[in-house]
Amino acid sequence: MRALTWQGKHDVRVETVPDPQIVNPRDAIIRITSTAICGSDLHLYDHVIPRMKSGDVLGHEFMGEVVEVGAGNAKLKVGQRVVVPFTISCGDCFFCQKQQYSCCDNSNPADKQDVSEVGFGYPMAAAFGYSHLTGGYAGGQAEFARVPYSDVGPVVIPDGIDDDKVLFLSDILPTGWMAAENCDIEPGDVVAVWGCGPVGLFAIQSAFLLGAHRVIAIDHYPRRLALAKQLGAEILDFEAVNVREALAEMTGGIGPDACIDAVGLESHGMSPDNILDHIKTATFMATDRLHALRQVILATRKGGRVSIPGVYGGVADKFPIGALMEKGLTLKSGQTHVQKYTAQLLQMILDGKIDTTFLISHRLDLEDAAEGYRNFKEKQNEFTKVVLKPRSGRRDSLH
């Protein structure tokens, strides 16, 4: 089959690789009809997440048609259309039973767990196409994918619903939702969101749905800020204003009740702390650039809440621990427990309460995926979300 493979920093190529096979009875094979490039993929593209190997198949946002089901899966049937959550979760372990699916203890094979166990204290769960830190599973920017524990993750999609409407159930929609849920929003709350990429935009939408009175969105790309405004947010360009001061002014000197970091470890901006972070990461003295998170913690009101969906992978310094503690902030974070939210969010899509299609700026043939990565990285203003269509899975024409 054809698949997008990682070859090194800023080098991804579509190549012919072996077709996936059923390995375990609970596996299924999916013929992929739509798959997307995520901001998280850019961390792999930039090689700031470790344990990548040349030839790894990328992609963790995908959906398609079930073409083969293992003997141990009584749930899925050949021919069904499914969206596949990016987190691979067994459904049975201590964590899955608590619906903390992205903490699953079984999906990441023991011999792959060494680095995350040393770095994070306990091993990470597995995810599709996201380095050998998360199990080294082949991803879904491909014609076919093997889905382990396929009786737990995949969401069956009713007939007649376009891929574009449901594809983002695989990651960024539940991620935006969990980011807002982690803010414990109360009536009258002002929520500020750093980053108007897909995750930030869905966090804005979710914050309103969960009862936020006002949402303030921060970025520097006009087109992304315009999308935030379209969703009802007030907007701030971090290159034009002092973000903390502007937020204080907009909230009567109090600060936002809750703040969301939808930026992660590759923060943009020419502030002194970010320049220093660049130098430190380039010289292996730190791994993550947390300029946005520093701002988030300083800007949040006393007694407020901080939610971090943005990905961080290692260690960093100048973390404002004093502000966090002295202001009595609550902090919630994590890879998304996708399976916890898919049924509810699918119903909201079907009921017309959530529309995710506004986000898609480009639809490309899977064969052009390398160009899609380059543009999603270098032209973020225009490329808000790229959806890839493998030829073998194509039902509709590209438009």
Ligand X SMILES: NC(=O)c1ccc[n+]([C@@H]2O[C@H](COP(=O)([O-])OP(=O)(O)OC[C@H]3O[C@@H](n4cnc5c(N)ncnc54)[C@H](O)[C@@H]3O)[C@@H](O)[C@H]2O)c1
| Residues engaged in binding Zn ion (CB under 5 A) | 38, 40, 61, 89-90, 93, 96, 104, 106, 171
User: Which one among 36, 375, 380, 393 touches ligand X, defined by CB under 6 A?
Assistant: 380
Who contacts 72 (Cβ-Cβ below 8 Å, separation ≥6)? 24, 25, 26, 151
CA 379 → CA 223, 336, 383, 385, 390, distances in Å? 11, 26, 6, 11, 23
* Contacts (CB under 6 A) with ligand X, residues 4-63: 38-40, 42-43
Shortest CB 12 distance to ligand X, Å: 16
* Contacts (CB under 6 A) with ligand X, residues 134-173: 171-172
Q: How far is 135 from 146, CA to CA, in rounded Å? A: 13
Q: How far is 94 from 127, CA to CA, in rounded Å? A: 18
Q: Which is nearer to Zn ion, 35 or 300 (CB)?
A: 35
Q: Which is nearer to Zn ion, 3 or 246 (CB)?
A: 3
Decide which of Zn ion, ligand X, none touches 193; Cβ closer than 5 to 8 Å per partner kind. none
Instruction: Name the segment binding ligand X (CB under 6 A); options: 70-78, 162-170, 217-225, 245-253.
Output: 217-225
User: Which one among 62, 128, 168, 194 touches ligand X, defined by CB under 6 A?
Assistant: 194
User: Which one among 14, 32, 185, 218 touches ligand X, defined by CB under 6 A?
Assistant: 218
* Single-letter amino acid, residue 289: R
Decide which of ligand X, Zn ion, none touches 90; Cβ closer than 5 to 8 Å per partner kind. Zn ion
Nearest to 44 by CA among 276, 286, 262, 313: 313
Shortest CB 337 distance to ligand X, Å: 9
Q: With binding defined as CB under 6 A, does residue 262 bind ligand X?
A: yes
Instruction: Name the segment binding ligand X (CB under 6 A); options: 76-84, 160-168, 212-220, 353-361.
Output: 212-220
Place of tokens 């992205």: 102
Report which secondary-structure segment, H or E, holds 35: strand 28-37
Q: With binding defined as CB under 6 A, does residue 196 bind ligand X?
A: yes
Q: How far is 254 from 242, CA to CA, in rounded Å? A: 16
129: left (phi over 0), alpha (psi -120 to 50) or beta: left
Other beta carbons within 10 angstroms of residue 84's beta carbon come to 27
Q: List residues near ligand X by CB under 6 A.
A: 38-40, 42-43, 171-172, 175, 194-200, 218-221, 224, 238, 262-264, 267-269, 291-292, 309-311, 335-336, 380
